[in-house]
Amino acid sequence: MLPADEFAGKVVLVTGGGSGVGLAMARGFALCGARIAIASRNEETLAEGAAELHGLGAEVFTVQCDVRQRNQVTDMFTQIEEATGPVDFLLNNAGSNFPALAENLSVNAWRAITQIALDGTFFCSQEFHARRCRVGRAGAIINNLASYAWTGFPGDVHSAAAKAGTLNLTLSLATEWARDQIRVNSIVVGTYPHSRVPNNDPREREGRRGRTVPAGRALRAQELGWAAAFLCSRFGGYITGLNLVVDGGDWLRRDLLKPPFIPPRERKDLWFGQ
């Protein structure tokens, strides 16, 4: 989409960039010449993601980091800076998720999910902003969202609340940091089957879930890459505080006729099942 050297000499940090949505976005930047730094808690995931990005000819730096720990976030940025250069773009994609009824959610589980998604996004953004201001350079942040940030999601109260918080954070930070030349946007990601989503085989999910989307299919990796690259590029230079929805019209479905509502605690598959 964009010129192949659009991000030449730039460094993008993708938290959770070893797989799924993060990896798809990282690919978009790799194709425009960026150096990629991917962060995750899991070494194996990082290795797999790095291999895929190497395949596109990108320089990749991997770093293990638990974004809930503020000092680890600082260390992560320092390591990346020393190895490959200051981070120019931050994609806050780290997140973890699993189906759970609210009544069964343990304190630890609640904290784990909300702290990775919301606290982690905040800490990384804060560190990014501080470093950009120190060297007087512009920057762009993209936060990863889902449409259940607006609607809630029975069976996913922890991630939904965290995403709602992240959406709001996007708006506040965009206004606070515009004069520092840091733009902050988010992408609401539609149905994107990939192996890390719990409890499903991506091929099976593509068929079933693809049919429920107005677009008639699931999202493709390159569509995420184009959206993320566009927002971070100079072509998106007046876009900040935006929540870009890339979902094939999915969240806008309003059907008068629906299958019977099965109370979540009676479902066999909490998220996808009847």
Known catalytic residues are: 148
- For residue 50, what are its two tokens? 């790095």
- Among left, alpha and beta (phi > 0; psi -120 to 50; other), residue 168 is alpha
Backbone angles phi, psi at 177, to 5 degrees: -105, 5
Q: What is the DSSP string of 154-182?
A: TTBHHHHHHHHHHHHHHHHHHHHHGGGTE
Distance CA 2, CA 226 (A): 8
Q: Are 75 and 48 in contact (CB under 8 A)?
A: no
Closer of 15 and 240 to other proteins (Cβ): 240
C-alpha to C-alpha distance for 49 and 46, rounded to whole angstroms: 5
Query: Minimal distance in Å, beta carbon 248 to other proteins?
Result: 5
Chain contacts with other proteins (rule: CB under 8 A): 1-3, 138, 171, 174-175, 178-181, 183, 190, 213-216, 219-220, 223, 226-227, 230, 234-242, 244-249, 252-254
Shortest Å distance, C-beta 249 to other proteins:
4
Q: What gap in Å lies between CA 192 and CA 66, rounded to an integer? A: 24
Tokens of 117: 């998604």
Measured from the Cβ of residue 84, the count of other Cβ atoms closer than 10 Å reads: 16
Q: Which residue has the tokens 């993708």?
A: 14
Q: State the minimum distance, in angstroms, from the CB of residue 152 to other proteins.
A: 19
Cα 202 to Cα 51, 65, 118: the distances in Å are: 21, 27, 27
In the complex, what is the shortest distance from the CB of residue 188 to other proteins, in angstroms, rounded to a whole number?
9
Helices 120-135 & 157-177, crossing angle to 10 degrees? 20
Helices 20-30 and 221-232, packing angle to 10 deg: 60
Helix (H, G, I), strand (E, B) or coil at 192: coil
Contact 62, 74 (CB under 8 A): no
